[in-house]
Amino acid sequence: MKIAQIAPLCEAVPPRLYGGTERVVAHLSDALVDAGHAVTLFAAADADTRAVLVPVRDRAIRLDPAPLKSELAAHLSMLHEVHARADEFDVLHFHLDLLHYPVFADCA
């Protein structure tokens, strides 16, 4: 199965410090790879994963020293990338609360 995991961008996957959701995404993605699935992880480039990583920003937001950062803009940019590639996957697994709903209304 081709599975896209779409992670929050606030923390690295897995997180360096706090980050429950990001830790779950990391373990789930690696376990799915181990089970033989083709997993693609949309996350920040500092992710450590056995899945195919699609880096949508250089670093997770919270520990990024860059002065200009918008959590919302980063997530919307990632969702745009996922939407453009949605047909490549059997399953899109979002870990973003409800943020993806308006972007993926056509895929419901």
Give the pLDDT confidence score for residue 67 in this predicted structure: 74
Q: 2-107 — its CATH code?
A: 3.40.50
Residue that wins the pLDDT comparison between 29 and 99: 29
Q: Tell me the pLDDT tens digit for each residue of 28-74.
A: 999 999 999 999 999 999 999 999 999 999 999 988 888 777 899 99
31 Cβ contact list (under 8 Å, min separation 6): none
Give the helix, strand, coil percentages of the chain, each rounded to 5. Answer: 35, 20, 50
